[in-house]
Amino acid sequence: MKVTFKVNGQPRRVDVPGDMPLLWTLRDTLELKGTKFGCGLSQCGACTVHISGAATRSCVTPISACQGADITTIEGLSKDGTHALQRAWEELDVPQCGYCQAGQIMAAAALLAKKPHPSDAEIDDAMQGNLCRCATYLRIRQAIHRAADLQSQAVQAGEPKRLRGSKS
Amino acid sequence: MSATTPVTRRDFLRVSAIAGGGILLASYIDPLSASEVGSGAAADAALNAYIRLTPDGIVTIIAKNPEVGQGVKTMLPMLIAEELDVAWKNVRIQQGDLDTKNFQGQVAGGSTATPNNWLPMRRVGAAGRAMLVAAAAQTWNVPVAECETERGVVYHRASKRSATYGGLASTAATIAPPDLATVMLKDPKAFRIIGQPMRGVDTHRIVTGVPLYGIDVAVPGMLYATFVKCPVFGGKVARANLDAIKALPGVRHAFVVDGTANLTGLMPGVAIVADSWWQARTARTRLDVTWNEGPTAQQGSASFAAQAATLAKGPAQRSLRKDGDVDAALASASKKISGEYFYPFIAHASLEPQNCTAHWKPDGQLEIWAPSQNPAAGRGLIVQTLGIKDTDITIHITRSGGGFGRRLGNDYMVEAAAIAKVVGVPVKLLWTREDDIQHDFYRPAGFHYLSGGVDASGKVVAWRNHFVSFGDGQNFAAGANIGATEFPQHFVPNFTLEASLMPLGVPTGYLRAPGSNGIAFATQSFIDELAHVAGKDPLQFRLDLLAQPITEAGGVGPQAAPYDAARARGVLERVREVSGWGTTALPRGTGMGVAFHFSHRGYFAEVVKASVSRDGTLKVEKVWAAGDIGSEIINPLNAENQVQGSVQDGLAQALGQEITIDKGRTVQSSFADFPLIRFAQAVPVEVHFVKSAVAPTGLGEPALPPVPPALCNAIFAATGKRVRSLPLSNHDLSWS
C-alpha cells in the first residue's frame, strides 16, 4: 500500500505491504539503519522510534498505521549528534556492543521530554522495556541524569530548550 | 620507494613510502608472505597494514580483530599509539578485513586479544617511533640519543629544533626498520595513552545511528533470506510446499538446502529468498515442512537429569586427576558432606540476531560481510562445506551486536554462502529472534556430584568431584569439559576429579568464560558449604585454603596458565576490604556471599549482598568485584564497563536463564521465556583492580564466573537455604 508520512522532518512516500512493520520500512525501504531489529516481538526495545514524540516499538507497528505520522528516528534526533542524550552517552562512553543504544536513547528522549529530571525509579520504569544484552544499565541511567543536567544548563544559559528531542 | 628488511624471525616489519609523502608500517608474521607481497603498491596494501602516517600527521591504524563490544577496536590501537607516541586525537581507526596472510589471530574469543597483542602491537608502534627519530637525527645530523618525542613531534632540545611526524614520514620510510624483538619500549611510568580512559572509537557513530553492524550491510541488488531449520537438532527436510511459497508476494526463490551432519555447520533447511526480509518472513509463516526428525527427538532435559543421576551412582567413566587417597581421607575426616550441583543449558542471546550477507559472483568469487568473532574459521567452514577455495573468498568483518561466544560459530555464514550460491546475487540472511534462541550452540548443562571433608581444625582434607557432562566416547562436547587441575586441585591433599559423559544431539559451544561460568558455581558453592560445616568465616576459609598449596601448580583453564595463589588471595583480600565483609551484623533475610575464580588468566573475587523477604522475594542489593588482570588496566573506562556488564550477565544467568530440551528441540523461543536482566534488576557494581607484576590480560570473561556462586552463597547467609541448582527462578526462597 502507498503510505505518506514524515520521517525526521522530511515527507516520505513508500509503497510496501500494509502489514510491513515500520521497522523494516525504515531499515530496508528508506535505508535508515540506525533503528535496530532485536526480537520483532516488542520485547527488547531496540527498534524504538518516536511517533508524534511518543516512544514506539517500530517492530510491531504496521506501516498501514503510519499514514500521516510524524516519525523521528535516531538519525533525526538531532541535526549533528548533539542532543543532550547523545552527548551524555559519548561523555560516559555508555555502549559496549552498542546495538541496543539507539533504542535506549530514543526511549530516554521521550522520557526527558515528559520529565526533565527523572528519578532513578522513573528511569527504571520508563526504560524497563529496553534490553541491553551487555547490561550497560548503570551507565545508561547515569547518562540520562547527565543529559538532564546538560539540558537544564543549556536552559539556564539561555539556549533554546530542547526537551522534545527531535529536530534541534 | 620501498625498503624491505629480510628478517627471518617470526615478527618483522615491512616499511613503505606512500605516494605524497607518508609511511606505511606493517608487521608480518610469516617472512614468506613478504616476498609474495613484494614492494611498491603501498597504497594498495594500506588496508592490510597496521599503521599509515600521512604528512598531515594523521595516523590511521587498522583494527584487525572483530569488535563485539569488548572494546578491542579501541584497545589495540591504543597500544600502537602509545609507543608510536602520537596524540590520540590524531589517530584514526579502520576495521580490517579478514587477512590471514598478514594478520594473526583475528579472533574475538578467550579474552586473548590483550595477552596476545600486548607486546607485538607496542613493538610495531615503537619501531615506527624509532624510525621517525632516526629520520630526524639524520636530517639534523645529530645523534639519535639526543632526540626525543612527544605527541607526534620529534625534538632536539639542544638546538631547539623540532619536526612533526608527518613531515618526517617520507624520510623515515628510507630508514632500515629496527628489529621488533629488541626495539626499545617505553617505561610504563611514561605511558600517556595506556591507562587513560578512552572512549570507544565507534561511540559517536553508535549514538547517531550510523550503519556499523552486519545487519546494516546493504549491497546494491541485494535480496533477503530467511532459513528454516528443523526444530529438532539434526533433522532433515522430507518435503516442503515450495511451489506455494514461491507464489507468495515478493518471493524470488524457495529451495531446500541439503546441508551436512555437522551440528555447528550447514544444517539442512528451507531457504526463502524475497525482495524484502519482511516478505521472506511473511512467506515463512505459510511454509509447511515435513521433517525427518532423526534420533535426537528422543533426547530431553528430563532424561539427561535421570541419566546423570544413574551415572553418578556408579563408577566414573574417566579419571581426570587423583592426588592422595580421597576415600581414606573422607573416611577419617572430622566432618564430611556431599552435594549435587546442576546448571542448565543457556543461550547467548546476543541482541543482534545472527545474520550474514553473501555474494557468490558469476566468476566464482565469494564476498561475505559477517558479524563473526572468528571469521577465519567461518571461511574454513565454507571451504569445507561448499567446495570453494579460500583464496576465492573475501570476508569483511563488521561490528557485532554482541558476541558472548555465539559468533565463534559460523553457521549463519555458511548458510548465507550456500543460499548465495543458488541465487547468484547478493543476499542478506537474517535469523529471527526465535531462530536465534532455538538454534544456538548452548552453554552445556553440567552435573557435579561433590563430596568433601574437613579435619578437626577445619582444614579441607578431601575433595571429590564426579562431573557428569556431555560428549562422545572420550571427547567432551564443545564447552562441556573440565580441566584436570581445576581449583581446588593443588590445595587439597586428597583430590579426585572424574567424569562421565552422556551422548548429546544438541549443539553446544562457548559462552563467556566457557567452562568456568558453570564450574565456578559448583565449586565455589561447595567450598562455602565446607566453610559452614567447618564453622569458619567463608572468606577467611578461602584465604586459608589458598595459603597452603600442596601439589605442583598445574595449568588451569583454556590457556593453561599456572595458578598463582598469591594473586587469588590478593583479590579476596581486596574484596573483603572494599565490601566491609564481616564488619556489620546483617539482619535475618540479608546476607553477603563471596566467591572467587581464576579464568582466562584473570583472578576475580566478588561479594554479593542480597536480601530475601519471608515470602521468598530476592533482591540483589550490591556487588563488589575485585580483579587482578596484571600490571595495567589499559582502558579503565571500558574496563569498568566490562566488569559491570559481566556481573549483571552473571546475575541474569543465575536469576532466570534456562534452556530446556524436550523431544530434541529447544522449548524457549524469545526474551519472554529466556529473560535478560532488565533496568530495574540492574545492581550497583563497585569495581576494583589489584595490579600485579605480570603483563596485562583480557577482561571480556573472568569477572563473570564468581557471580552465580557469590549470589547463592549470599542467599544461604540470608536464609539458610542452600541453592544447588540454577536458575534461582526454580527455587522457593521463602523462610520463616
- Chain A nearest C-alpha distance from B184 (Å): 33
How far CA B432 is from CA of B337, B353, B639, in Å, comes to 47, 7, 32
pLDDT value of position B105: 78
| Distances B140 to B147, B157, B561 between C-alpha atoms, Å | 10, 12, 48
**Residue entry with cell 560516559:** A92
A74 touches chain B (CB under 8 A): yes
- Per residue in A16-50, pLDDT (tens digit) is 999 999 999 999 999 999 999 999 999 999 999 99
C-alpha cell at A155: 536552559
Distance CA A159, CA A151 (A): 9
Residues of A in contact with B676 (CB under 8 A): 131-133, 135
Strand arrangement of the beta sheet that strand B269-274 belongs to: B251-257, B269-274, B223-229, B427-430, B355-360, B366-370, B393-397
> How far are the Cα atoms of B242, B251, B272, B389 from residue B247, in angstroms, in the given order?
9, 7, 11, 35
Of the residues A78, A133, A139, A166, the best mutation for testing chain B's interface (the one with the most B CB atoms within 10 Å of its CB) is: A133
To the nearest whole Å, the CA of B378 is away from the closest chain A CA by 21
Nearest residue to B417 via CA among B217, B213, B271: B271
Q: Cell numbers of B387, please?
A: 567446495
Q: Cβ contacts (< 8 Å) between B648 and chain A: which residues?
A: 135, 137
- The verdict on a CB contact (< 8 Å) between B278 and A17 is yes
Best mutation target, A97, A105, A122, to test chain B (most B CBs within 10 A): A97
Task: Check CB contact of A41 with chain B, cutoff 8 Å.
Answer: yes
Size of interface A-B (CB pairs under 8 A): 184
φ and ψ of B616, to 5 deg: 95, 10
B71: which chain A residues are within 8 Å (Cβ-Cβ)? Answer: 96
- Taking chain B (736 residues) in runs of 10, the rounded mean pLDDT of each run is 39 81 76 38 35 92 88 92 96 88 78 85 92 97 97 97 96 90 94 97 97 98 98 98 98 98 97 98 98 98 98 96 96 98 98 98 98 96 97 97 97 98 98 98 98 97 98 94 92 96 98 97 98 98 90 53 89 98 96 96 97 98 98 97 98 98 98 96 97 94 98 98 98 96
State the pLDDT confidence band at A139, using cuts at 50, 70 and 90: very high
Beta carbons within 10 angstroms of residue B158's beta carbon? 10
| Grid coordinates of B134 | 632516526
B641 vs A16, A31, A96: nearest CB: A96
Return the percentage of chain A with pLDDT > 90, whole number. 90
Residues 552 through 581 of chain B touching chain A, CB cutoff 8 Å: none
pLDDT tens column, A63-97: 999 999 999 999 999 999 999 999 999 999 999 99
Cell numbers of B65, please?
A: 580483530
Which residues 2-31 of chain A have a CB within 8 Å of chain B?
A: 16-17, 19-21, 24, 28-29, 31
ipTM of predicted assembly, 2 dp: 0.94
Whether A97 has its CB under 8 Å from any CB of chain B: the answer is yes
Whether residue A19 and residue B282 make contact (CB cut-off 8 A), yes or no, is: yes
Q: Does A133 touch chain B (CB under 8 A)?
A: yes
Q: What is the Cα B720 distance to its own chain's centre?
A: 35
How high is the pLDDT of residue A160? 52
Contact A86, B208 (CB under 8 A): yes
- Contacts with A98 from chain B: Cβ below 8 Å: 69, 200, 202-203, 206, 212, 399, 401
Q: How far is A156 from chain B, CA to nearest CA, in Å? A: 25
pLDDT band, very low/low/confident/very high, at A155 (cuts 50, 70, 90): confident
Distance of alpha carbon B24 from alpha carbon A29, whole angstroms: 41
10 Å CB burial of residue B363 (0-12, 13-18, 19+) is exposed
Residue B202 has what pLDDT? 96
Confidence of residue A159 (pLDDT cuts 50, 70, 90): low
Nearest beta carbon to residue A24 from set B216, B277, B353: B277
Which pTM was predicted?
Answer: 0.94
Do you find a cis peptide bond into B488, omega within 30 degrees of 0? yes
Q: Is A51 on the interface with B (CB under 8 A)?
A: no
Query: Which of B372, B368, B369, B399 is closest to B386 using CA atoms?
Result: B368
Q: Is the Cβ pair B670, A75 closer than 8 Å?
A: no
Rounded Cα distance, B126 and B131, in Å? 9
